[in-house]
Amino acid sequence: MTEHSAPRRETLEKLTPVLTKRWLSPEAWRLDVYQQLDGYAALRKAIGSHPDDLIQLIKDSGLRGRGGAGFPTGLKWGFIPQGDGKPHYLVVNADEGEPGTCKDLPLMTHDPHSLIEGVIIASYAIRANRAYIYIRGEAVHAARRLRNAVAEAYAAGYLGTDILGSGFDLDVVVHSGAGAYICGEETALLDSLEGFRGQPRLRPPFPATHGLYACPTVVNNVGTIASVPYIVLGGADWWKTMGTEKSSGPMIYSLSGRIANPGQYECSMGITLRELIELAGGMLPGHNLKFWTPGGSSTPLLAAEHLDVPLDFEGVAAAGSILGTTATQIFSDQDCPVYATYRWLEFYHHESCGKCTPCREGNYWMVRVYRRILSGQGTQEDLDTLLDTCDNILGRSFCGLGDGATSPVTSSLKYFKQDYLDYIEGRTAPRLSEKTLVGA
Ligand code: L3W
Ligand code: SF4
């Protein structure tokens, strides 16, 4: 695919601004502006309903988790035991750190009250009186906006005791992490929140029964929780008018790389990359699509032949990848898949928490192999070593970080083996100096 002109009308109609609809309204982060734009209307409606009816509504909507795994949200809420006498918690995973992913931070920056409103409704549904928003440490500006919005919500009676006269109490704490990617894994996040070093816990038991302080806990992504007020106001059937049968609703796709207008595009699930690129004004002049990630670097790369794959959970899986966080990073024929994979592996190597051997050692070894190949010292055997190492990481790691690290390696070798051979056989000039091998 090469550059082209303005999007066609039928492609423009695929834009479905729901969660992003207030992003262009001036100062929509302020409570008074948010309220003028329908803000907190969903809470008023929800607080008069029975919590079980809200869980059923979310089940009926088909909403699936927006953090990468696509787990059915209503089902997760329904796992919270009732009448158990224990405190329940809602934890929002706002530790957005997957390379290429940029949908939750803009949402919290431009429209923080929509997340807070979703937090209140979700907490009411699962009978939680305390909720935490765990935000990425580097996201200082978004955290400040969120904290200001929480203070405004307390002052207006949307948080605290006897919310809107309903008898329901809720406290919300915004907690900033310390910049570790692993704390986006839900159980490492819980450990970090409890004050421990953030490392994943064994699952099962899942957080739904044994989460924060060993109590029933729902952990949901920002986009998941921010979807809730819209479903409450619009209804499950309206939500399902967008997306596909098994992947309902709109999704915020973050587009980056060799395109004219990178950014966030909220569209019905099932849109294709061809259409997204059209919405983004086409490829940059002189660039042709070569490879791309459908959902961040932890999802297997796809190639130009996958331009018409529907970007929903099932469509991407059928193409051999994962929808993940819908972070579509777009690379052209002027980019090198070997070098890109090396850079991602350096990230995984750096962020590996070190708890399990396959990920801790495997990523270390693979970085060394990539340095060899990219400095012109690689051999054909190195390619087998890479695949063998991936085989010993995938499915043998303690958490998804290890599995995810193998995705760019195996997929780039599947589609772009020739690019590796070009380094090994001297047709491509070395990209790294031999000095990178010293002490590696
Ligand atoms: C109760 C059961 N709960 C599953 C819950 C579980 C979790 C959710 C999904 O990883 C992936 C990862 C990243 N009883 C349950 C149950 N649950 N069975 O359902 O669980 P799971 O294991 O399918 O996925 P996960 O652990 O949530 C998420 C990938 O997404 N990813 C994301 C990367 C980074 C970000 C970010 O920066 N924000 O999301 C991208 O692909 O690699 O594989 O809540 O408790 N029987
Ligand atoms: Fe830690 Fe990696 Fe093992 Fe996950 S897979 S527990 S990040 S070492």
pLDDT tens digit string along 415-440? Answer: 999 999 999 999 999 999 887 886 55
Q: Which residue is closest in CA terms to ligand 1's atom 12?
A: 400
Residues in the chain: 440
Write the CB contacts of 21 (distance below 8 Å, at least 6 apart in sequence): none
Write the CB contacts of 376 (distance below 8 Å, at least 6 apart in sequence): 423, 426, 429, 430, 434
Region of 107 on the Ramachandran plot (φ > 0 left; ψ -120 to 50 alpha; else beta): alpha
In the reported structure, the alpha carbon of residue 431 is separated from the centroid of ligand 1 by a whole-number distance in angstroms of 36
Digit-coded pLDDT (tens) for 288-332: 999 999 999 999 999 999 999 999 999 999 999 999 999 999 999
Q: How far apart (Å, rounded) are the C-alpha atoms in residues 85 and 390? A: 45
Q: How far apart (Å, rounded) are the C-alpha atoms in residues 51 and 122? A: 9
Q: How far apart (Å, rounded) are the C-alpha atoms in residues 317 and 270? A: 12
pLDDT at res. 9: 82
Q: Sheet of 89-94: strands edge to edge?
A: 171-176, 130-135, 89-94, 217-221
Q: Which two tokens stand for residue 433?
A: 């100096």
* Helical spans, DSSP H, in 218-356: 222-234, 236-239, 273-279, 313-318, 337-351
Pocket test for ligand 2, best of 356, 361, 364, 389 (most atoms within 8 A of CB): 356
Digit-coded pLDDT (tens) for 111-160: 999 999 999 999 999 999 999 999 999 999 999 999 999 999 999 999 99
| Ligand 2 neighbours by CB, cut-off 6 Å | 182, 200, 352-356, 359-360, 397-399, 401-402
Residue 118, burial from CB neighbour count under 10 angstroms (0-12, 13-18, 19+): buried
Pocket test for ligand 1, best of 95, 96, 133, 298 (most atoms within 8 A of CB): 298
Q: Which residue is closest in CA terms to ligand 2's atom 3?
A: 356
ipTM over 0.90: yes
Ligand nearest the Cα of residue 398 is 2
Q: Are 211 and 130 in contact (CB under 8 A)?
A: no
Write the CB contacts of 69 (distance below 8 Å, at least 6 apart in sequence): none
